[in-house]
Amino acid sequence: MPNFIKRRIAGAEIIFLPEKCLWYPAQAALCLADLHIGKSTHFQRFGQYLPQTVKPDLYRLERLLKERNIKTCFFLGDLFHSTLNDEWKMLDQFFSHHQQVTFHLILGNHDILPRYIYEQSLLKVSPDSFFLAPLRLIHQLPDLIGNEFVVAGHIHPAVQLYDHSGAQTQFPCFYLAQNYLILPAFGSATGTSILQVKKGDEVFVTNGEEIAEVSQSL
């Protein structure tokens, strides 16, 4: 599998990366969704074990920021999983160590921290959406889409593929339709939702290191 896929969307060249994020070179921007930082600690409070993923996830993001010379990083919702815990300190330190980058959060349904927490960090916050021409960045795909091309997250999309023996494997994916795109979850401590692929839509699966189009195989 290749290590990126290019598409022209609404006149802009957009690059799909295997690290489960979108690169917009003309804007020096990176778009990613659903990190769910704090989820492991949140579940451990209630006696459920989840592996700690915040450090490897932030390391992966740091590498992308440096390799792609990113100036603005957009989080399309669900950056932090729930109520405040120690993983927020790690995230806040990450922002402080990368002040050359503007970090922008479009709030998602899990982003329930008090507003002053965000204001004390280096995050810029949009409550609903943000227009990064020509893309409308949002957390959850709206029921009705107007004339703008919408980029969303929220559902952690995935598809199931079968090998020659009939064995089934599930892969996170980008889901590209005529007027919208759904990003895979960037965070490692997240589940996935299997999508039913509509005719004419494109699907790019990733294993975290390589990416491939599989639309014709579904």
- Domain tally, the chain: 1
User: Distance between CA atoms of 201 and 187, rounded to whole angstroms?
Assistant: 25
Give the pTM. Answer: 0.90
**CB–CB of 123/103 below 8 Å?**
yes
- The per-residue DSSP string of 85-129 comes to -THHHHHHHHHHHTTTSEEEEE--TT--S-HHHHHHTTEEEESSE
**CB–CB of 168/161 below 8 Å?**
yes
With CA atoms as reference, report the closest residue to 160 among 130, 190, 197: 197
- Quote the domain boundaries for residue 191: 5-217
Query: pLDDT tens for residues 83-130?
Result: 667 778 888 899 999 999 999 999 998 888 888 888 888 899 999 999
User: CATH code at 119?
Assistant: 3.60.21
Query: pLDDT tens for residues 35-79?
Result: 988 766 654 565 554 456 688 899 999 999 999 999 999 999 988
> Phi then psi for 29, rounded to 5 degrees?
-120, 145
